[in-house]
Structure formats: structure tokens, C-alpha cells
Amino acid sequence: MRALITTRDGGVSSGKFASLNLSMRVGDDPRCVARNRAILRACLPAEPAWVRQVHGTSVVDAAEATPDAEADGVVTRNPGEVCVVMTADCLPVLLCDRAGRSVGVAHAGWRGLAGGIVENVVQAMGVPPRDIIAYIGPGIAARRYEVGEEVRTAFVGRDPAAASSFAARQNGTYLADLYDLARRRLAAAGVTEVYGGEFCTASEGRFFSFRRDRTTGRMASLIWLEDS
């Protein structure tokens, strides 16, 4: 198994998209994005299984993925197929099983987490959840992620214990800990060996951040099985 998470460095895009923007859907020059994707492709065994992310809960197999397929999770059991999601504050959750039989990745913003995207990717991997290892990549940390009551309700209505992932502010909003919420969803899915959760995209300039910049690029988180 191999995995790779890009930062915003190393590409050819300029301005608000500088420099390794990998999304064709944020207003960047398509020619620059194509060159950026070529830079990334040189590090991979195959073209990534790009999909159209919609903050939903659908999961596709990498072999059936297309750039227009609406999905927020990708899985594969075939060596050489590269699963990918793009983020700029939402969490990328990368998963593999200890035996190297299956891998997957989830695009986990608050809507996806609340809706069950992590659980759906775990199920689609087709291996016992107890055998899965998860890594949570760079996303927005609680100190920078202010949300409204509707976000808290989406989680607490399903899991009352999730209230501890929200810190109330005097203005009626909350600081939400996406990392903690992701760990809760992984645990609910039966995945207990979880790593990562150490970065804040909104606080560190090496990452793209939608919350910080609004108009910005996207990073990629990729995972694949190696040929034996």
C-alpha cells in the first residue's frame, strides 16, 4: 500500500490558486490544472480515479469512477488503481486493511461525516472493520472552524455524545472539532486504529483553505495498492 497527500506547493498555477491546484472546478486556468495533474501523475502508478465531489455519501469503485461521477468516497481491491479525493478544509480519511487487500478514501466535511460517508467507505472496502487502519489527513482544526446550530444538531441528533466535539461561543455559534467527529464515526464503523489529525489547513499557509481564502485551490489525498 502507498499513500500521498499533496500541499499547495510544487505546481504552476498562480494568484489565489498558487501553485499545485488540482481541481478543474474552482476557476483556475484549465491548462495550469492539467500541468499540475501531470506533475502529480508522474509520482503515481496510474491516473487517479477523479470524481465529482458533492458533500454526499456515495462511494464508487476506482475502476468505475469518472470525472463526472458524483461520489465522495473511492475504494479499490485492485493493485495499481489510485483512489483520490480533493480537499481544502474538509478531512481526507485514508483507509487500508492490514493484509493489503483493500484501500479507500473519503472526502469528509461535516455534511459527509454526519451523513455516513466514512461508514459507507468502510463497508465498501469489503473487509472486517477491525482489520482497517485509518489516517486522517490535513483539515480545518476546531480553533478555526466556527459553525451554527444546524451542524451541531446534525451530529448530536444521531449521537448525543458528539456534543463534546462542539465548544459553545457567546454569539450562539460553536467551534466544531472535525477531527474528533471523524474519529467518532470511524469508531462507530468498527475502526479503532486511527492516526493523523495533526494539522490545520486554515492556520498553515502550505495548505489550501476555503474557510480562510474562499477562492482557492484543492489538494489531493491518494491511496493505492502496489502490484505484488
Q: What is the pLDDT along the chain (228 residues), one digit of tens a residue?
A: 999 999 999 999 999 999 999 999 999 999 999 999 999 999 999 999 999 999 999 999 999 999 999 999 999 999 999 999 999 999 999 999 999 999 999 999 999 999 999 999 999 999 999 999 999 999 999 999 999 999 999 999 999 999 999 999 999 999 999 999 999 999 999 999 999 999 999 999 999 999 999 999 999 999 999 986
Q: Which amino acid is at 118?
A: V
Q: Where does the chain show beta strands of DSSP type E?
A: 2-5, 59-61, 73-76, 82-87, 91-97, 103-108, 132-136, 146-147, 166-168, 174-176, 193-196, 219-224
Residue with cell 484501500: 103
CATH code of residue 101: 3.60.140.10
User: For position 168, what pLDDT does the model report?
Assistant: 98
Give CA–CA dist 44/222, Å, rounded.
Answer: 9
Give CA–CA dist 6/65, Å, rounded.
Answer: 21
Q: What is the dihedral of CA 17, 39, 141, 72, to 10 degrees?
A: 100
Number of domains in the chain: 1
Helices (H), the chain: 30-41, 110-115, 117-125, 149-156, 178-188, 210-213
Give CA–CA dist 191/68, Å, rounded.
Answer: 30
What range defines the domain where residue 128 resides? 2-224
